[in-house]
Amino acid sequence: MTVTDVGGHETVSADEQRVRDLTDELIEAFPPATTDARTFLGEQYDRGLAWVHFDEGFGGLGLSPRLQAVINARVAAAAGPFCMLRNPIGYGMCGPTVHAWGSDDQKRRYLRPLFTCEEIWCQLFSEPGSGSDFAGLSSRGVRDGDEWIVNGQKVWTTLAHVSRWGLLVVRTDPEAVKHAGLTAFVVDMTAPGVEVRPLRQMTGEAEFNEVYFTDTRIPHDEMLGNPGDGWRVSLTTLMNERTSIGGGIPRKGSGTIATLLDVWHKLPEDRRDAAARDAVTRLWIRAEVHRLTNIRANQNRRMGDPGPEGSIGKMESANLNKAIYEQVIDLLGAEGMLYGSYEMVRPDVALFSDSLQKGFLRSRANSIEGGTTEVMQNILGERVLGLPGDVRVDRDVPWSQVPRN
């Protein structure tokens, strides 16, 4: 942690100085300008700078997760690669879950190629009948010797069409209550019986997919945790997902708000009226409050998985992005209605927009992915503010006895 005294002198903790030195040594030994991304990321992993709070030998140094921002900033300043841009589901969600719940063999097998982006990952949670009510999922896993046979359907699966591995949760005990009968697995997305179909978005692209499992066999050794641990495994994933989507700490004035300011400064003088200036200023203030709130939440997180406070960042990030892009389109006027093409495209990256208009359309997904805004409000109300929870009549009933459409 860096502390600045009243005289303006910076004091750096021993741990922070260590990661600074290790990062600088990495950049000096493997200059990003002349080193391919896979090699650079592999070296970053081997030096414990991938997820700095992970155990040594698995991409980390066992230090505070707060120090990852120090590493990322120095790598970015040197124009180095960032795994999150190419493998966002793997880096932000699946990697932390494998580290928390996987065996040492699984961690050795999966974490390094995940971080180098040699192997892309996807998350197989939501189903047509269980989105916000994730624990109500109906995809089944039945044990057959040393394997599990899986049948069912998943939906809204980002980058499933380019993924090598998936983090899958299925129901293995229908006679248990819905939260207790779930089990998590690592699934080979190239295995027989796995079918990926595109879900076309209003941007024209299909970064999302639906995935069908038909008698797909998964080795027992690919289970994360034990039978029935699926709900707890999924909480690890979801809390990391919300933090990775909305919990980042960008530089002041950067990110989506920088896009709005760029549009504002390029407007003709006669279109920069007081009302528009007031709207832009209010959004800039919201963006800065969001950034400072994330800094505070990050300081409270010492080790381990993020807590429910991560829902604050995720919810506000979604609302803020939508509001900023709405203002961008408003400032553009008639130009904001122009759109290049709705041609069907299956991108190999997610969370990316190459035009302002596409950014506006894509921002609508922010309030759904990683947990809907309504779910985030429930989490904040119940687990942060301590308000009474919703009435849940199916909580103590075996899943097989819960009425379904």
User: What's the pLDDT tens digit per position in 169-185?
Assistant: 999 999 999 999 999 99
**Are residues 191 and 132 part of one domain?**
yes
**Are residues 47 and 163 part of one domain?**
no
DSSP H helices in 35-139: 37-46, 68-77, 83-86, 88-89, 95-101, 104-115
Q: State how far the Cα of 355 lies from the Cα of 62, in Å rounded to an integer.
A: 40
Give the range of the structural domain holding residue 156, as residue numbers without chain letter: 121-233
Kindly state whether residue 77 falls inside one of the protein's structural domains.
Answer: yes
> Last residue of a domain, which of 81, 99, 115?
115
Kindly state whether residue 344 falls inside one of the protein's structural domains.
Answer: yes
Kindly state whether residue 398 falls inside one of the protein's structural domains.
Answer: no
pLDDT band at 246 (very low <50, low <70, confident <90, very high): very low
**Are residues 172 and 61 part of one domain?**
no
Per-residue pLDDT, 300: 61
Looking at the 3D structure of the chain, how many domains does it have? 3
Taken in order 238, 325, 378, 374, the sign of the CA dihedral is negative
> Which of the residue ranges 45-49, 235-239, 369-373, 396-400 has the most confident prediction, judged by mean pLDDT?
45-49
**Are residues 58 and 126 part of one domain?**
no
Per-residue pLDDT of 329-375, as tens digits, reads 999 999 999 988 888 889 888 767 789 999 999 998 888 777 788 88
Check which CATH number belongs to the domain holding 92 and give it.
1.10.540.10
> Last residue of a domain, which of 56, 85, 115?
115
Per-residue pLDDT, 354: 81
pTM for the model = 0.87
Q: At what angle do helices 37-46 and 14-29 cross, to 10 degrees?
A: 150
Kindly state whether residue 400 falls inside one of the protein's structural domains.
Answer: no
Kindly report each contact of residues 75-81 with a partner whose C-beta sits within 8 Å and lies 24 or more positions away, as own/partner: 75/23, 75/26, 75/27, 75/32, 75/44, 78/27, 78/31, 78/32, 79/32, 79/33, 80/27, 80/32, 80/40, 81/32, 81/37, 81/40, 81/41
pLDDT over 70 at 211, yes or no? yes
**Are residues 377 and 265 part of one domain?**
yes
Compute the residue count for the chain. 405
**Are residues 128 and 68 part of one domain?**
no
**Are residues 307 and 190 part of one domain?**
no
Average pLDDT over residues 76-80: 96
List active site positions: 241
- Other Cβ atoms less than 10 A from the Cβ of 138: the count is 17
Q: In a 10 Å sphere around its CB, with 0-12 CB exposed, 13-18 middle and 19+ buried, how is residue 373 labelled?
A: middle
> And the tokens for 387?
């308000």
**Are residues 141 and 16 part of one domain?**
no
Kindly state whether residue 43 falls inside one of the protein's structural domains.
Answer: yes
Per-residue pLDDT of 49-65, as tens digits, reads 999 999 999 999 999 98
Per-residue pLDDT, 305: 56
Amino acid at the residue 280: V
DSSP H helices in 200-347: 230-246, 256-266, 274-300, 310-332
**Are residues 111 and 9 part of one domain?**
yes
Kindly state whether residue 308 falls inside one of the protein's structural domains.
Answer: yes
Check which CATH number belongs to the domain holding 274 and give it.
1.20.140.10
- Other Cβ atoms less than 10 A from the Cβ of 358: the count is 19
Check which CATH number belongs to the domain holding 127 and give it.
2.40.110.10
**Are residues 319 and 214 part of one domain?**
no
* SS3 per-residue string spanning 123-172: EECCECCECCCHHHCCCEEEEECCEEEEEEEECCCCCHHHCCEEEEEEEC
Kindly state whether residue 390 falls inside one of the protein's structural domains.
Answer: no
Per-residue pLDDT, 6: 45
Kindly state whether residue 92 falls inside one of the protein's structural domains.
Answer: yes
- Other Cβ atoms less than 10 A from the Cβ of 400: the count is 12
**Are residues 159 and 131 part of one domain?**
yes
